[in-house]
């Protein structure tokens, strides 16, 4: 696995490097290269919920979902109410 791409704040040169890394990642089937093009802030990981509405990441994930207005029923996302039509 190679070095992670530049992280914010960007200069013109580091922004260019980030774009080139993302383009290279999109043009490969190598998951190790794809993951290097993204940071945790780039991908809304907290929106990934199990089919039964349970959360993989616990309290932190729930707090982020609640901040977005996602409805809960007990400890699980209310999948009927939250489903996008």
Long-range CB pairs of 44-51 (<8 Å, 24+ gap) are 49/77, 49/79, 51/79
Average pLDDT, the chain: 81
Q: From CA 34, how far away is CA 74, in angstroms rounded?
A: 36
Q: Per the confidence metrics, is the pTM higher than 0.75?
A: no
pLDDT tens digits along 33-78: 667 767 777 778 888 899 999 998 889 999 999 999 999 999 999 9
């Amino acid at each position: 696995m190679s070095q992670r791409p530049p992280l914010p704040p960007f200069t013109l040169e580091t922004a260019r490097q980030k774009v080139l890394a993302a383009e290279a990642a999109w043009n490969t089937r190598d998951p190790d290269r794809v993951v290097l093009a993204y940071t945790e802030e780039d991908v809304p990981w907290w929106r990934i919920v199990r089919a039964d509405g349970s959360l993989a990441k616990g309290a932190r994930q729930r707090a982020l979902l609640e901040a977005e207005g996602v409805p809960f029923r007990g400890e699980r996302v209310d999948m009927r109410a939250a489903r996008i039509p």
